[in-house]
């Protein structure tokens, strides 16, 4: 089987599908920052750096000999999902991403692949302005009568992280589909991080010059004081709410709101959702369970189920975190690829 991975980013979905025995012939993304990382970890798969809206629909037919009506072809569309995120934030910047699923549709309509695979945030089901119903109507009208879809949690599939996502597999072939079977064991932070797993103790602002990228963002003196007063293993900002030097005015009188902000992860629970800002303790429960720092790039990648030898080809913590936070966890991608590949 072969696949084309639209909105491929740094390659989480591509890597997992390849592990499942699917030949991903191309990845498409407009983010130039993703190319070096994608190519380094997925040799032989072509990275096409372009805006899907500007890509001629016949490109793959002309340039890569992709045939129409190929039962063995999978088209993957994990479009950017900020517009449908349930996080309360301005949607103005992300409006352009709202209709990307329909831009993906034109390639399905043209090539009529055997399979279609979509992954997005759960909000794509709830948002009143979602394009998902139109996308589903188009699929069914085109003959994709076997469709399985649901909101799943990555923690149920070998990913040590609470990460709820909408997943859909559709086929026009005469076969029943199902989403991957859930694994029996749920992995926790302790199962993958810490000194026993090769993550030596480091400090905030540590720079790892090796490909491992166990680097952390610097902390201000005040944030370092806050972390030192935050209880190990799951502590929150309430540990210093009564300290006038450390308390933030915006959280005064809000002891039951936004408790994940400045919080430490728990050792014995899956991590919270790894976002593109997981390196920052002010953006969620992203402080190390024990050490006085935020997560390192390699730790964030591990919590996303990237293997230890996955290279992030940049020296920028911000850029690497963007590629990691936006990715489909490879462990889940492999499982969904195995379903499609009949394994």
Q: Is 81 an annotated catalytic residue?
A: yes
The answer to whether the beta carbons of residues 209 and 194 sit under 8 Å apart is no
Question: Around Cβ 294, how many Cβ atoms within 10 Å?
Answer: 27
What whole-number distance in Å separates Cα of residue 266 and Cα of residue 285?
9
DSSP string, 293-342: SB--HHHHHHHTT--TT-----S-HHHHHHHHHTSPPHHHHHHHHHHHTT
Q: What pLDDT sits at residue 29?
A: 97
Domain assignment of residue 60, yes or no: yes
Domain assignment of residue 122, yes or no: yes
Catalytic residue among 8, 81, 239, 313: 81
Q: What pLDDT sits at residue 89?
A: 47
Number of domains the chain contains: 1
Domain assignment of residue 296, yes or no: no
Residue ranges, the chain, pLDDT below 70: 81-98, 127
Domain assignment of residue 110, yes or no: yes
- pLDDT tens figures, 277-302: 999 999 999 999 999 999 999 999 99
The answer to whether the beta carbons of residues 336 and 117 sit under 8 Å apart is yes
- Cα dist. 75→11, 26, 164, 282 in Å? 15, 10, 22, 37
Domain assignment of residue 212, yes or no: no
Parent domain of 334: 2-183+328-340
What whole-number distance in Å separates Cα of residue 20 and Cα of residue 59?
26
Describe the crossing of helices 100-111 and 132-142 by its angle, rounded to 10 degrees. 10
What whole-number distance in Å separates Cα of residue 241 and Cα of residue 263?
12
Q: What pLDDT sits at residue 90?
A: 46
Q: What pLDDT sits at residue 163?
A: 97
146-153 β-sheet, strand order: 46-49, 23-29, 2-6, 73-77, 115-120, 164-171, 146-153
CATH number of the domain within which 153 lies: 3.40.50.150
Q: What pLDDT sits at residue 82?
A: 55
What whole-number distance in Å separates Cα of residue 85 and Cα of residue 277?
15
The answer to whether the beta carbons of residues 24 and 2 sit under 8 Å apart is yes
What whole-number distance in Å separates Cα of residue 85 and Cα of residue 127?
9
Domain assignment of residue 323, yes or no: no
**Hey, what are 113's tokens?**
């692949």
End-to-end Cα distance, the chain = 12
- pLDDT tens figures, 230-279: 999 999 999 999 999 999 998 888 888 888 999 999 999 999 999 999 99
**Hey, what are 87's tokens?**
């996080």
Q: What pLDDT sits at residue 98?
A: 62
Domain assignment of residue 218, yes or no: no
Domain assignment of residue 12, yes or no: yes
Q: What pLDDT sits at residue 129?
A: 75
């Amino acid at each position: 089987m072969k696949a084309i991975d639209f909105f491929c980013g740094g390659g989480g979905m591509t890597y997992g599908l390849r592990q499942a025995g699917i030949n991903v012939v191309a990845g498409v993304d407009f983010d130039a920052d993703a190319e070096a990382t994608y190519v380094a970890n997925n040799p032989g798969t072509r990275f096409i750096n372009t805006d899907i809206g500007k890509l001629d629909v016949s490109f793959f037919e002309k340039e890569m000999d992709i045939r129409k009506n190929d039962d063995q072809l999978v088209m993957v569309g994990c479009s950017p999902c900020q517009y449908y995120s349930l996080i309360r934030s301005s949607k103005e910047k992300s409006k352009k991403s709202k209709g990307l699923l329909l831009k993906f549709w034109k390639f399905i309509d043209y090539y009529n692949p055997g399979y279609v695979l979509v992954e997005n945030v759960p909000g794509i089901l709830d948002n009143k302005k979602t394009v998902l119903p139109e996308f589903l109507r188009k699929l069914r009208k085109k003959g994709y009568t076997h469709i399985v879809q649901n909101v799943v949690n990555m923690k149920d599939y070998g990913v040590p992280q609470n990460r709820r996502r909408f997943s859909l597999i559709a086929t026009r072939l005469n076969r029943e589909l199902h989403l991957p079977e859930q694994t029996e064991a749920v992995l926790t932070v302790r199962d993958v991080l810490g000194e026993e797993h090769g993550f030596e103790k480091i400090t905030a602002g540590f720079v790892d010059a090796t490909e491992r990228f166990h680097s952390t963002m610097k902390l201000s003196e005040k944030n370092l004081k806050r972390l030192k007063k935050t209880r190990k293993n799951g502590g929150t900002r309430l540990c210093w709410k009564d300290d006038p030097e450390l308390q933030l005015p915006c959280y005064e009188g809000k002891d039951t709101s936004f408790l994940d902000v400045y919080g430490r992860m728990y050792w014995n629970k899956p991590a919270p959702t790894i976002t593109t800002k997981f390196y920052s303790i002010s953006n969620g429960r992203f402080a190390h369970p024990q050490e006085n720092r935020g997560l390192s790039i390699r730790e964030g990648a591990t919590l996303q189920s990237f293997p230890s030898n996955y290279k992030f080809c940049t020296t920028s913590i911000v850029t690497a975190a963007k590629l990691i936070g936006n990715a489909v966890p490879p462990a889940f991608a492999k499982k969904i690829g195995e379903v499609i590949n009949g394994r």
